[in-house]
Amino acid sequence: MAEKEDKEQMGQLPDFTTIDTGYFFDIYWNEGDTGEFQYQTRWSPNLEILEQIADHYKVNFVVDYEESGNLVYGRATYEGGELTDIYLENEDFDTYQFDEDTDTYHFEGETYESDCEILETLLERRINKHK
């Protein structure tokens, strides 16, 4: 799929899928990484197609996803045929503020250059609550 996507730049789905959405774009992996790759989707995570792929190959998966502009940030885990999708809610995004004057984020009395660490912290809290 990665080679085909590299040539066509049209988004890819595995040949065996019965779903016509959730295309994989810009598929890549880092040299030396085993069992881990990255890709883009359009607008939302493609969890349904990931489930079909996992069932086809009889594997589990963990996928981290984000679309900050749409307030989408989460982690889905598929294990033993069961999908657990934990994601931030709108109120989570309201817990920090962006200061346009200083180009920084403020969260729980601390200042951050980007919101990445804040979002990771908020997601980890949700994951820990779910356990």
pTM of the model: 0.86
Q: Which two tokens stand for residue 75?
A: 């982690």
101-127 per-position pLDDT tens digit: 999 999 999 999 999 999 999 999 999
Q: Using CA atoms, how far apart are residues 94 and 107, in angstroms rounded to an integer? A: 10
Amino acid at 9: Q
Tell me the DSSP string of 53-85: HHHHHT--EEEEEEEGGGTEEEEEEEETTEEEE
If you average pLDDT over every residue of the chain, what do you get? 92
- What is the arithmetic mean of pLDDT over 40-64? 93
**71: phi then psi, degrees, rounded to nearest 5:** 55, 50
Say which residue the tokens 């995570």 belong to: 45
- Dihedral sign for Cα 46, 59, 26, 66, please: positive
Q: Using CA atoms, how far apart are residues 28 and 46, in angstroms rounded to an integer? A: 16
11-30 per-position pLDDT tens digit: 889 999 888 888 999 888 88
